[in-house]
Structure 1
Amino acid sequence: MTIDHVLGAELGRPGFRADVAPVLRLRPGTGATVAFHTDDAVYRELHEHGDLAKLAAPINPVTGPVYIEGAEPGDALAVHVHDILLPEYGWSQSLPGAGALAHRMPDSVMSRRIPIDAEGVHVTDRHVVPPRPMIGCIGTAPAAGVGSTIMPTTALGGNMDLTDVAPGATVYLPVEVEGGLLSIGDIHAVMARGESSFVAIEAAGVAIVSIDLVKDAGYRAPRVETADEWIFVGLGDPVQESIRRGYEDVFDTLVDVHGWDPMDAYAVMSAVVHSELGGPTGSEAPDPLHPFRAVGAVTLHRLPKSVL
């Protein structure tokens, strides 16, 4: 694949923000490809000294931002993921206070360097699994403040940790500021849906994407399109609110966009639209004293294209 633009990992920084000068201006719809190199320095540091208090590298830096010509508030960026290149190793770690089983794991950093080769991802000495590279953190800049690259996930994206954000998928991200200001980071070599430890097999890598623009999209949360599905992201606290908002977006798409009868839409949704918990990062800002404790929920709602 021809790469038209290369953005180095040195352009990574924490947070999605509108006051950072764009590193690239791009005209949408040209098919031009951009390679976003991402960084794993924080995991390397933790592996070497095992102390969160001594970290010098930021957690989940995102490379960018890229300014998309013509993008205005109310539009959406359509980010087509063409490929994700992985290095020769990644990281698996257990961090104090993070993950669903923090109460079962030691109150200290535990770390493993995970080889990645032609055989697969060597999660343990006995478990070699096929790589399923994905982008964990992708989003646009908010009109005010800073969008976190850790948590929460917001209407503009962020650290969504969705396994579907993988080669062949298109990610639709709402735009709040002129140019959108797209940034990408946090590549995983492989991750289970849910990411129980909050740290899957993390890796420095390269995401190769192209970008289109959807004018007046009016999306209130990210969406992901794959070959077979439209995946609607729900956000809210508690989880029931996240589910309701995701269902509303599916329903409105069927009724308002595709012209379905409301009862037809409700019946089909109950029959074939599967819902599940998304990434572990929550939808509300966590308590500052417990920055890895998620509040609210990210949910996914899968609409098969075959019913449209």
Structure 2
Amino acid sequence: MDHLLPKSLGQASFDAGIAPALTVAAGGGERIGFETDDAVYAQLHERGSLDKVTATINPVTGPLYVEGAEPGDALQVTVHEIHLKDHGWSVSLPGAGALADRMGERSFTRRIPVGERVQLTERIDTAPRPMIGCIGTAPATGTGSTIMPSFASGGNMDLTDVAPGATVYLPVLVPGALLSIGDIHAVMARGESSFVAIEAEGVAVVSVDVVKSMPLRAPRVETPGEWCFIGIGDPVQESIKRGYEDMFDFLVDDRGFTREDAYVVMSALAHSELGGPTGSGEPDPLHPFTAVGAVTVHRLPKSVLG
């Protein structure tokens, strides 16, 4: 690792007005560690109520300025490693997640040991599968939320695929891109029923490059076996439509498929699912979790590309 951005650089938003914490050259191969922060969960565990918490909710570390990144390009972020601390948190917040009606109005927290295994309960453990929940570049105007909604150049998408071995392509909307990363999970089920999963402090180690003249309207993730096209929209039907359209355009415009061939292949082999929630109209800092729409993930097996 060539650089470490400590969690003390945590920010409450993605914002082009925030001064860069570090500048690197595109494609230089430097590995940058982004340390993330889970102080909000520790405070909630100690104090028992979200309205007594003073720590920033879901901060992102950064931003990183990438020389050569200009609007209309894509920032290529390769995730090399994610180092976890020795514990994480499972949390239930009143009104949050699909099980809010079952969990009731009391906050619930559990400190989860993390090592070679993640100890969920006394008898159930699982292998760590660390991933980055919140990743993005700065919006051209205004600020991007670290909670919700997700936005064109990223945010709190909670994608299990943003893990070691993956490459994330993010729209560049401002000079330098201004990359920020936060919200590491030790393990998370796709869809994230609780809206928090097993949150854990850690260090995500990435390198960056720029793909010139690659205008994207939403992030894209490449894994060893798949291309994942991310739909961001409201309502959820719009998110699904946009993700499918981006996959279709990739096959036709970038890979030379006929429209008919792309249509047939997608209907047979392109699986889709929910990512994290897209957002609410005007999130209340204490009750910010009424989701509108959703982040959707549309999976194209690389095997169809030859």
**Band of TM-score, shorter chain:** over 0.9
Q: Does residue 1:90 correspond to 2:88, yes or no? A: yes
Report if aligned partners of 1:91, 1:113 keep a CA contact under 8 Å in 2: yes
Aligned counterpart, 2:28: 30
Report if aligned partners of 2:112, 2:198 keep a CA contact under 8 Å in 1: yes
SS of the equivalent of 1:16 reads strand
1:232-243 equivalences under 5 Å are: 232-243=229-240
TM-score by length of 2: 0.97
Q: What is the aligned length?
A: 304
SS of the equivalent of 1:29 reads coil
SS of the equivalent of 2:232 reads strand
- Identity among equivalent positions (%) equals 67
Determine the C-alpha separation between the residues in 2 that align with 1:92 and 1:46.
11
Deviation at 1:251, TM superposition (A): 0.6
Report if aligned partners of 1:16, 1:142 keep a CA contact under 8 Å in 2: yes
2:302 to 297, 305, 308: 305
Deviation at 1:216, TM superposition (A): 1.1
1:261 to 258, 261, 284: 258
1:69-218 equivalences under 5 Å are: 69-118=67-116, 120-218=117-215
Deviation at 1:290, TM superposition (A): 4.5
Q: Does residue 1:39 correspond to 2:37, yes or no? A: yes
Deviation at 1:287, TM superposition (A): 5.2
Determine the C-alpha separation between the residues in 1 that align with 2:205 and 2:8.
17
Determine the C-alpha separation between the residues in 2 that align with 1:185 and 1:64.
9
Determine the C-alpha separation between the residues in 2 that align with 1:248 and 1:286.
28
Determine the C-alpha separation between the residues in 2 that align with 1:237 and 1:211.
30
Aligned counterpart, 1:282: 278
> Gapped runs of 5+ residues in structure 2?
none
What amino acid sits opposite 1:304 in the alignment?
Answer: P
Q: Deviations over 1:247-273 (max 9, x none)?
A: 110111111111211101100011111
Structure 1 residues 91 and 152 mapped into 2: Cα distance closer, same or farther (>3 Å)?
Answer: same
SS of the equivalent of 2:109 reads strand
> Gapped runs of 5+ residues in structure 1?
none
Q: Does residue 1:270 correspond to 2:267, yes or no? A: yes
Report if aligned partners of 1:140, 1:181 keep a CA contact under 8 Å in 2: yes
Aligned counterpart, 1:67: 65
Deviates more, 1:234-243 or 1:136-145: 234-243
Deviation at 1:106, TM superposition (A): 2.4
What amino acid sits opposite 2:274 in the alignment?
Answer: L
How well do the aligned residues superpose, as a CA RMSD in angstroms?
A: 1.1
